Amino acid sequence: MNYRAATLSIVATVAFANDAKTSTTDLMKMAENKMWAFYIDRDSMEKSGRYRKVTEIYDAKTTISSANFLPPGTQSLQVVTEYDCDKGLYRPIKATAFAEPKGTGRVLRDEDIRASSPAENWLDAVETREMSVNPLIASAL
CATH of the domain at 84: 2.40.128
pLDDT at position 62 over 90: no
The amino acid present at 85, given as its one-letter code, is C
The domain in which residue 10 lies consists of 3-140
- Report the candidate in 60, 54, 59 with the shortest Cα–Cα distance to residue 91: 54
Residue 132: predicted pLDDT: 47
Q: What is the pTM of this model?
A: 0.73
Residue 78: predicted pLDDT: 93
Residue 83: predicted pLDDT: 86
What sign results for the dihedral spanned by CA atoms 131, 79, 55, 36? Answer: positive
Range name among 16-20, 102-106, 116-120, 124-128 with the lowest pLDDT average: 16-20
Number of domains making up the chain: 1
Contact (Cβ atoms closer than 8 angstroms) between residue 112 and residue 81: no
H runs (alpha helix) in the chain: 3-13, 113-116, 135-140
pLDDT at position 130 over 60: no
- Report the candidate in 33, 48, 32, 21 with the shortest Cα–Cα distance to residue 104: 21
- Give 65 or 80, the one with higher predicted confidence: 80
| Centroid of chain to Cα 111 | 13
